[in-house]
Chain A
Amino acid sequence: MKIIITSVFVDDQEKALKFYTELLGFQKKYDIPMGHHRWLTVVSSHDPAGVELLLEPDEHPAAKPFKNALLEDGIPATMFGVDDVQSEYERLSGLGVCFTQPPAVMGPVITAVFDDTCGNLIQIVQANQPS
Protein backbone atom coordinates (compact mmCIF):
# COMPACT_ATOMS: atom_id res chain seq x y z
CA MET A 1 0.00 0.00 0.00
CA LYS A 2 1.26 3.50 -0.74
CA ILE A 3 -0.02 7.04 -0.57
CA ILE A 4 -0.94 8.25 -4.05
CA ILE A 5 -3.24 11.16 -3.32
CA THR A 6 -4.11 13.59 -0.58
CA SER A 7 -6.63 16.42 -0.58
CA VAL A 8 -7.50 19.90 0.57
CA PHE A 9 -11.06 21.19 0.83
CA VAL A 10 -11.37 24.28 -1.34
CA ASP A 11 -14.23 26.76 -1.54
CA ASP A 12 -13.83 27.28 -5.31
CA GLN A 13 -12.08 24.80 -7.57
CA GLU A 14 -11.25 27.26 -10.34
CA LYS A 15 -9.77 29.78 -7.90
CA ALA A 16 -7.87 26.94 -6.21
CA LEU A 17 -6.46 25.70 -9.51
CA LYS A 18 -5.14 29.19 -10.28
CA PHE A 19 -3.60 29.57 -6.82
CA TYR A 20 -2.02 26.13 -6.69
CA THR A 21 -0.63 26.29 -10.24
CA GLU A 22 0.12 29.96 -10.91
CA LEU A 23 1.32 30.94 -7.43
CA LEU A 24 2.56 27.71 -5.87
CA GLY A 25 3.89 26.32 -9.17
CA PHE A 26 2.19 22.92 -9.20
CA GLN A 27 0.89 21.53 -12.46
CA LYS A 28 -2.55 20.20 -13.28
CA LYS A 29 -2.71 16.43 -13.65
CA TYR A 30 -6.36 15.39 -13.93
CA ASP A 31 -9.39 17.56 -14.63
CA ILE A 32 -12.42 15.35 -15.05
CA PRO A 33 -15.98 16.75 -14.98
CA MET A 34 -18.03 15.22 -12.14
CA GLY A 35 -21.49 16.77 -12.20
CA HIS A 36 -21.28 20.22 -10.62
CA HIS A 37 -17.66 19.73 -9.71
CA ARG A 38 -14.45 18.33 -11.14
CA TRP A 39 -12.02 15.61 -10.20
CA LEU A 40 -9.17 18.06 -10.12
CA THR A 41 -5.65 17.15 -9.07
CA VAL A 42 -2.26 18.84 -9.18
CA VAL A 43 1.28 17.49 -8.82
CA SER A 44 4.73 18.93 -8.23
CA SER A 45 6.26 20.13 -11.51
CA HIS A 46 9.50 18.29 -10.80
CA ASP A 47 7.70 15.08 -9.78
CA PRO A 48 4.66 14.69 -12.05
CA ALA A 49 4.41 10.98 -11.25
CA GLY A 50 4.43 11.68 -7.51
CA VAL A 51 1.66 12.10 -4.95
CA GLU A 52 -1.32 14.07 -6.28
CA LEU A 53 -3.16 16.78 -4.43
CA LEU A 54 -6.91 16.70 -4.94
CA LEU A 55 -8.58 20.12 -4.88
CA GLU A 56 -11.79 18.86 -3.34
CA PRO A 57 -14.99 20.94 -3.07
CA ASP A 58 -15.85 21.85 0.54
CA GLU A 59 -19.61 21.73 0.04
CA HIS A 60 -20.25 19.08 2.70
CA PRO A 61 -21.95 20.87 5.64
CA ALA A 62 -19.28 19.65 8.04
CA ALA A 63 -16.37 20.89 5.94
CA LYS A 64 -16.72 24.64 6.44
CA PRO A 65 -17.07 24.66 10.25
CA PHE A 66 -14.10 22.29 10.37
CA LYS A 67 -12.02 24.56 8.14
CA ASN A 68 -13.01 27.69 10.03
CA ALA A 69 -12.04 26.15 13.36
CA LEU A 70 -8.62 25.19 11.99
CA LEU A 71 -8.16 28.68 10.51
CA GLU A 72 -8.96 30.41 13.76
CA ASP A 73 -6.30 28.40 15.59
CA GLY A 74 -3.81 28.78 12.75
CA ILE A 75 -3.64 25.05 12.04
CA PRO A 76 -2.48 24.09 8.54
CA ALA A 77 -4.62 21.76 6.41
CA THR A 78 -1.49 20.24 4.93
CA MET A 79 2.22 20.72 4.46
CA PHE A 80 4.53 21.08 1.44
CA GLY A 81 8.29 20.64 1.32
CA VAL A 82 10.47 23.42 -0.11
CA ASP A 83 14.23 23.88 -0.47
CA ASP A 84 14.26 27.33 1.08
CA VAL A 85 11.39 28.56 3.27
CA GLN A 86 12.77 32.11 3.46
CA SER A 87 12.95 32.60 -0.31
CA GLU A 88 9.46 31.10 -0.80
CA TYR A 89 8.18 33.41 1.92
CA GLU A 90 9.62 36.42 0.12
CA ARG A 91 8.43 35.27 -3.30
CA LEU A 92 4.86 34.51 -2.17
CA SER A 93 4.59 37.61 0.03
CA GLY A 94 5.58 39.64 -3.02
CA LEU A 95 2.68 38.07 -4.90
CA GLY A 96 0.26 39.14 -2.17
CA VAL A 97 0.03 35.83 -0.28
CA CYS A 98 -0.84 36.33 3.39
CA PHE A 99 1.32 34.53 5.97
CA THR A 100 0.05 33.82 9.49
CA GLN A 101 3.54 32.70 10.48
CA PRO A 102 6.71 34.03 8.89
CA PRO A 103 9.69 31.64 8.65
CA ALA A 104 10.67 30.30 12.07
CA VAL A 105 13.10 27.66 13.27
CA MET A 106 11.11 24.86 14.90
CA GLY A 107 13.83 22.55 16.19
CA PRO A 108 14.90 20.32 13.28
CA VAL A 109 12.87 22.21 10.66
CA ILE A 110 12.16 25.72 9.42
CA THR A 111 8.48 26.39 8.77
CA ALA A 112 6.13 29.13 7.62
CA VAL A 113 2.34 29.16 7.27
CA PHE A 114 0.26 30.93 4.62
CA ASP A 115 -3.36 31.28 3.52
CA ASP A 116 -4.29 29.53 0.25
CA THR A 117 -7.28 31.92 -0.25
CA CYS A 118 -9.55 28.86 -0.52
CA GLY A 119 -10.16 28.51 3.22
CA ASN A 120 -6.97 26.70 4.26
CA LEU A 121 -3.65 27.39 5.85
CA ILE A 122 -0.66 25.65 4.29
CA GLN A 123 2.63 25.01 6.05
CA ILE A 124 5.87 24.97 4.09
CA VAL A 125 8.81 23.20 5.61
CA GLN A 126 12.52 22.64 5.02
CA ALA A 127 15.11 20.71 7.02
CA ASN A 128 17.10 22.98 9.31
CA GLN A 129 20.55 21.65 8.55
CA PRO A 130 23.49 23.24 10.33
CA SER A 131 25.66 24.91 7.68
Chain B
Amino acid sequence: MADLFEALAAPARQAILDVLCERDGQTLFEICSRLAMSHNLTLTRQAISQHLEVLESVGLLSTRREGRYKFHYLDTTPLEAIVERWLSRNKKKKEK
Protein backbone atom coordinates (compact mmCIF):
# COMPACT_ATOMS: atom_id res chain seq x y z
CA MET B 1 0.00 0.00 0.00
CA ALA B 2 3.01 2.28 0.48
CA ASP B 3 3.55 2.38 -3.29
CA LEU B 4 -0.07 3.31 -3.82
CA PHE B 5 0.21 6.32 -1.55
CA GLU B 6 3.45 7.33 -3.16
CA ALA B 7 1.76 7.14 -6.56
CA LEU B 8 -1.12 9.27 -5.31
CA ALA B 9 1.10 11.81 -3.58
CA ALA B 10 2.26 13.63 -6.71
CA PRO B 11 -0.13 16.44 -7.75
CA ALA B 12 0.57 15.70 -11.42
CA ARG B 13 -0.58 12.11 -11.00
CA GLN B 14 -3.70 13.26 -9.17
CA ALA B 15 -4.41 15.54 -12.14
CA ILE B 16 -3.94 12.62 -14.54
CA LEU B 17 -6.52 10.62 -12.59
CA ASP B 18 -8.86 13.66 -12.71
CA VAL B 19 -8.38 13.85 -16.47
CA LEU B 20 -9.22 10.16 -16.87
CA CYS B 21 -12.37 10.70 -14.78
CA GLU B 22 -13.47 13.31 -17.34
CA ARG B 23 -13.29 10.61 -20.01
CA ASP B 24 -11.89 7.11 -19.73
CA GLY B 25 -9.78 5.58 -22.48
CA GLN B 26 -7.57 8.40 -23.74
CA THR B 27 -4.49 8.55 -25.93
CA LEU B 28 -1.33 10.07 -24.52
CA PHE B 29 -1.99 13.10 -26.72
CA GLU B 30 -5.46 13.65 -25.24
CA ILE B 31 -4.13 13.33 -21.69
CA CYS B 32 -1.39 15.86 -22.44
CA SER B 33 -3.89 18.23 -24.09
CA ARG B 34 -6.32 18.10 -21.20
CA LEU B 35 -3.56 18.61 -18.63
CA ALA B 36 -2.19 21.60 -20.50
CA MET B 37 -5.43 23.22 -21.64
CA SER B 38 -7.82 22.50 -18.80
CA HIS B 39 -5.58 21.91 -15.79
CA ASN B 40 -2.79 24.38 -16.51
CA LEU B 41 -0.22 21.63 -16.16
CA THR B 42 2.39 21.93 -18.84
CA LEU B 43 4.62 18.93 -18.36
CA THR B 44 6.70 17.41 -21.11
CA ARG B 45 5.24 14.39 -22.85
CA GLN B 46 8.11 12.32 -21.43
CA ALA B 47 7.30 13.43 -17.88
CA ILE B 48 3.64 12.54 -18.37
CA SER B 49 4.64 9.14 -19.77
CA GLN B 50 6.68 8.50 -16.66
CA HIS B 51 3.78 9.47 -14.41
CA LEU B 52 1.55 7.09 -16.40
CA GLU B 53 4.06 4.29 -15.83
CA VAL B 54 3.99 4.90 -12.08
CA LEU B 55 0.19 4.83 -12.06
CA GLU B 56 0.23 1.64 -14.14
CA SER B 57 2.75 -0.01 -11.81
CA VAL B 58 0.37 0.33 -8.84
CA GLY B 59 -2.64 -0.77 -10.87
CA LEU B 60 -4.43 2.58 -11.00
CA LEU B 61 -4.14 2.68 -14.77
CA SER B 62 -4.26 0.14 -17.53
CA THR B 63 -3.44 0.47 -21.21
CA ARG B 64 -5.11 -1.21 -24.12
CA ARG B 65 -4.01 -1.30 -27.71
CA GLU B 66 -6.78 -0.93 -30.24
CA GLY B 67 -5.50 -1.14 -33.76
CA ARG B 68 -2.58 1.21 -34.03
CA TYR B 69 -3.52 3.34 -31.04
CA LYS B 70 -2.89 2.95 -27.35
CA PHE B 71 -5.57 4.04 -24.88
CA HIS B 72 -5.23 4.63 -21.14
CA TYR B 73 -7.92 3.54 -18.70
CA LEU B 74 -8.50 4.41 -15.08
CA ASP B 75 -8.70 1.50 -12.63
CA THR B 76 -9.88 2.43 -9.14
CA THR B 77 -9.67 -1.12 -7.80
CA PRO B 78 -6.53 -0.39 -5.70
CA LEU B 79 -8.40 2.45 -3.95
CA GLU B 80 -10.90 -0.06 -2.57
CA ALA B 81 -8.15 -1.34 -0.27
CA ILE B 82 -8.12 2.11 1.37
CA VAL B 83 -11.87 2.06 1.85
CA GLU B 84 -11.74 -1.48 3.24
CA ARG B 85 -8.93 -0.74 5.63
CA TRP B 86 -10.22 2.45 7.23
CA LEU B 87 -13.55 3.72 5.98
CA SER B 88 -15.57 0.50 6.02
CA ARG B 89 -14.20 -0.56 9.40
CA ASN B 90 -14.88 2.83 10.93
CA LYS B 91 -18.39 2.83 9.52
CA LYS B 92 -19.10 -0.63 10.96
CA LYS B 93 -17.92 0.49 14.40
CA LYS B 94 -20.21 3.50 14.32
CA GLU B 95 -23.13 1.31 13.34
CA LYS B 96 -22.59 -0.92 16.37
Contacts and interface: CB of A to CB of B under 8 A. Distances in A.
A104 B23 contact: yes
A104 B69 contact: no
A75 interface: yes
Nearest to A105: B38
A100 B69 contact: yes
A75 B29 contact: yes
A71 B68 contact: yes
A18 B41 CA distance: 39
B70 A106 contact: no
A122 B59 CA distance: 31
Contacts of B70: 72-74
B68 A104 contact: no
Interface residues of B, number: 17
Given A68-B68, A71-B68, A72-B70, A101 B27 contact: yes
Interface in A75-109: 75-76, 100-102, 104-109
B75 interface: no
A101 B30 contact: yes
A44 to B, nearest CB: 24
A72 B38 contact: no
19 contacts: A73-B28, A73-B29, A74-B27, A74-B29, A74-B70, A75-B27, A75-B28, A100-B30, A101-B26, A101-B29, A102-B23, A104-B30, A104-B33, A106-B33, A107-B37, A107-B38, A111-B33, A113-B27, A113-B30
Interface of B: 22-23, 26-30, 33-34, 36-38, 45, 68-71
Interface of A: 68, 71-76, 100-102, 104-109, 111, 113, 121
